[in-house]
Chain A
């Protein structure tokens, strides 16, 4: 099983600032990595797939980068609606696995 490790667990950011979230895989997943956003009481929402491609309707302030074992999700200028928990997921192998999440909170 591929273990996905996200850091930090919590990120405190002021609105308008940049947020950088990390995801590390225990073995190479190539570019088979997705990012999701989850708000309280809601299902996750797909943000990024193939490590760097924004899903339909996702604002350009969200960007993904990386390949192999190291990945980054960047939110260029945090808006109030961006405060949430973010998960990465690998889909190169079964079982599909998720990171434990990074909570982005208001500073």
Chain B
């Protein structure tokens, strides 16, 4: 049973850095895309970035200049940092895993999700 458990700060001031971590329990950590997705209140889903266990990354161009995704295979966890946040970054942030292996198309949609973390940016 794969479980993704998120942790990180929920209230930030403008210009600060958002930092979230997703710990993975159950299943293999290798051969999957580990992904961050966000959802502003009352709005749709936005894919942020993904990483493999070996550190291969893909970023959304709209956020790439401010985002770093990283992985710690020794702890089976991956992390998101988003710099210089503004109110527009207020959202529920989800970590997710591709359904299948990252080198197959089944790894490019999301079968496992974390519980979501509400991050609010306010002065």
Residues of A within 8 A of B (CB): 1, 32, 34, 36, 43-46, 49-50, 55, 87, 89, 91, 94-101
Contact = CB atoms under 8 A, between A and B. Distances in A.
Given A43-B116, A46-B99, A98-B45, 19 more contacts: A32-B105, A32-B108, A36-B110, A43-B94, A43-B114, A44-B45, A44-B94, A46-B110, A46-B111, A49-B99, A50-B105, A55-B111, A87-B45, A89-B45, A91-B105, A91-B108, A95-B60, A98-B47, A101-B45
Interface of B: 43-47, 58-62, 94, 96, 99, 105-106, 108-111, 113-116
A59 B60 CA distance: 33
26 contacts: A1-B61, A32-B108, A34-B109, A43-B113, A44-B45, A44-B113, A46-B111, A49-B99, A49-B106, A50-B105, A55-B99, A87-B44, A87-B45, A89-B110, A91-B108, A91-B109, A95-B47, A95-B58, A95-B59, A95-B60, A95-B61, A96-B47, A97-B47, A98-B46, A98-B47, A99-B44
Main SS at interface, chain A: loop
A68 to B, nearest CB: 16
A96 to B, nearest CB: 4
B45 A46 contact: no
Given A49-B109, A91-B105, A94-B58, A43 B99 contact: no
Contact of A101 (B44, B46, B96, B108): B44
A100 B39 CA distance: 11
A99 B109 CA distance: 14
A50 to B, nearest CB: 8
Nearest to B92: A43
Contacts of A99: 44
